């Protein structure tokens, strides 16, 4: 999967928008409605990677299951994982993780 394909997949979610306040190598995908990030696409040590939010218990399980999943680079290590795209992480699992990150950062429904 290329950087462009990864970004296009993230942006297909309703309410998703690109944001690039840093250098051109780092692309944030966030919710338009609440501004929360759900993905950070970047290159680390020459590898295409993506930071994704995750439930802490699942985050630990994924790190144990795949060499390509590590604690989130430059993020809260409990709630974020960095996934190296072209490693032992199956593409379907990566896409599922993106969906979960989107869900975890989505705006909460009001209690009214």
Contact 28, 40 (CB under 8 A): yes
pLDDT for 95 equals 98
Categorize the per-residue pLDDT at 110 as very low, low, confident or very high, splitting at 50, 70 and 90. Answer: low
Q: How many structural domains compose the chain? A: 1
Give the residue-averaged pLDDT of 10-28.
89
CATH number at residue 64: 3.90.1150.30
Q: What is the pLDDT of residues 57-91, one digit of tens each?
A: 999 999 999 999 999 998 988 999 999 999 999 99
Straight-line distance from the first to the last Cα atom of the chain, in angstroms, rounded to the nearest whole number = 42
Evaluate whether residue 79 is within a structural domain.
yes
Categorize the per-residue pLDDT at 112 as very low, low, confident or very high, splitting at 50, 70 and 90. Answer: low
Evaluate whether residue 112 is within a structural domain.
no
Classify residue 86 by its DSSP letter: T
Q: Give me the domain span that covers residue 42.
A: 3-105
Decide the pairing of beta strands 47-53 and 69-71.
unpaired
> CA 5 to CA 22: how far, in whole Å?
21
pLDDT for 61 equals 97
Evaluate whether residue 111 is within a structural domain.
no
pLDDT for 91 equals 96
């Amino acid at each position: 999967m290329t950087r462009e394909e990864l970004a296009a997949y993230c942006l297909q979610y309703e309410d998703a928008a690109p944001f690039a306040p840093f250098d051109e190598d780092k692309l944030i995908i966030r919710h338009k409605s609440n501004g929360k990030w759900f993905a950070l696409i970047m290159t680390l040590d020459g590898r295409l990677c993506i930071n994704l939010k995750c439930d802490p218990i699942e985050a630990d399980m994924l790190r144990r299951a795949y060499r390509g999943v590590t604690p989130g680079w430059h993020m809260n290590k409990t709630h974020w994982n960095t996934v190296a795209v072209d490693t032992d992480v199956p593409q379907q699992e990566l896409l599922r993780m993106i969906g979960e990150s989107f869900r975890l950062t989505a705006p909460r429904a009001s209690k009214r």
